[in-house]
Structure 1
Amino acid sequence: MTVKALFWDIGGVLLTNGWDREQRAQVLASFGLDAAEFTERHKLAAPELELGRMTLAEYMDQTVFYEPRDFTPAEFRAAMEAVSQPHPESLALARELSAGIRMYALNNEGRDLNEYRIATCGLQEFLLAFFTSCYLGVLKPNPAIYRLGLSFAGVRPEEAVMIDDRAQNVQAARSVGMHAVQFRDAAGLRAELAALGVGRV
């Protein structure tokens, strides 16, 4: 069956991860924060953030600003945003493919960072909609988020490809009947999509 839609993860595929372990370590070190203490608080708050039930300001209040600091929430937020960087090769490929196929985001992210990343990197220019955990209230790798994305896009599982850098998320997409490609680099992704008939000249 012809592939009619691509679903893209954002962090680790189109952009660097938004607020994953590496990004957190970098920002915490720059502010001299205790990583172990932060991590314990983060574990409790992060799911609520990514499910859209907590704002970024509330998350920072619980994980960082529960005691006086010598820096401001605005400064900490700016540092969080600054670690988001594009993957130019992936973005170029996505823009190229968007001319011939419908494309959507399907990702886990809190609302504030998600909207910052979309606007800053121009993702709305080639992705038709953003099926993000903070809007849908469910996280990958729960199969429900893939079924919701398919339903909103109006495509059958066998007509869709999920692109994700995490093996568990790839397996979850396949469990609902989608094609799925584990992203490693743009050249490899191009080849795997071509094998599925996407972007082939």
Structure 2
Amino acid sequence: MLTNGWDHLARKRAAKHFKLNWSEMDERHRLVFETHEEGKLSFEEYLGWVVFFEKRPFTRIQFRDFMFAQSKPYPKMLGLVAQLKAQHGLKIVVVSNESREINAHRIRTFRLDQLVDAFISSCFVGMRKPDIEIFRLALDLAQTAPERAVFIDNTPMFVQIAERLGMRSIHHVDYESTRAKFTSLGLQTNDAT
């Protein structure tokens, strides 16, 4: 429903924009990102280890604002999910690997709490995809059997894990193919968009 929040492409854009050494930033990120996404390292600590371990000509607020600006909506996907939820009475549960601050920003900015029934975010539950337990937790909280769930993700491995748990899955590539896959699963919308 949204672009990735703080993936390697966003980090590369940040390195270029702020004139940071990309390989150094990437290496430092790799050392702490799992701990950060699991909620065990604060946002300020993350920034301190990855960017502000030395004096910079920009502020933490400027860097944070750039990070947050990397999240963009996919309006057609948001609309499709909203339509499917309304027409089929679906529960929507989001499973994500994100830091608390980026997660909160995305939920608030894009009003995801008006569409989503539960957020199983790594920063809240202390585990990340591909840990199979985060998938099981999502099913438990949704009170849904795996065969009644449809898991959607843009990462093929995560789709495969969901399938091994018995969930029907969609490897999201683009709006058209995802919509077609929903239709093939009996989840079509009444409109012609």
User: With structure 1 as the length reference, what TM-score do the two structures score?
Assistant: 0.90
| 1:29 matches 2:32 | no
| 1:90 matches 2:77 | yes
CA positional deviation for 1:121: 0.8
Letter in 2 for 1:186: Y
Per-residue CA deviations over 1:152-180 (Å, capped at 9, x if unaligned) read 11011111010001100000111111111
Per-residue CA deviations over 1:25-63 (Å, capped at 9, x if unaligned) read 111111000001111110111001111111211100111
The DSSP-based 3-state class of the residue aligned with 1:140 is: coil
CA contact (8 A) 1:15 1:84 kept: yes
**Corresponding position of 1:143:** 132
Letter in 2 for 1:189: T
CA positional deviation for 1:128: 0.6
CA gap of 1:65–1:192, structure 2 versus 1, over 3 A, is: same
Segments of 4+ moved more than 3 angstroms: none
Corresponding pairs, count: 188
**Corresponding position of 2:31:** 44
Per-residue CA deviations over 1:89-141 (Å, capped at 9, x if unaligned) read 11111111121211111111111100100110111111111011111111111
How far apart, in 2, do the equivalents of 1:198 and 1:135 lie?
Answer: 30
Which stretch shows the higher mean deviation, 183-192 or 60-69? 183-192
**What are the within-5 Å matches in structure 2 for residues 111-126 of structure 1?**
111-126=100-115
How far apart, in 2, do the equivalents of 1:52 and 1:180 lie?
Answer: 27
User: With structure 2 as the length reference, what TM-score do the two structures score?
Assistant: 0.94
How far apart, in 2, do the equivalents of 1:27 and 1:67 lie?
Answer: 16
Q: 48, 55, 60: which one pairs with 2:42?
A: 55
CA contact (8 A) 2:83 2:189 kept: no
Letter in 1 for 2:12: A
Which stretch shows the higher mean deviation, 96-105 or 25-34? 96-105
Task: Provide the identity percentage.
Answer: 38
How far apart, in 2, do the equivalents of 1:78 and 1:37 lie?
Answer: 21
CA positional deviation for 1:200: 5.5
How far apart, in 2, do the equivalents of 1:141 and 1:173 lie?
Answer: 10
**Corresponding position of 1:153:** 142
Q: 19, 27, 30: which one pairs with 2:6?
A: 19
Q: Which runs of 5+ in 1 are unaligned?
A: 1-13
Over aligned residues, Cα RMSD in angstroms? 1.1
CA contact (8 A) 1:143 1:175 kept: no
How far apart, in 2, do the equivalents of 1:114 and 1:68 lie?
Answer: 27
RCO higher in structure (CA 8 A, sep ≥6): 1
How far apart, in 2, do the equivalents of 1:90 and 1:150 lie?
Answer: 22
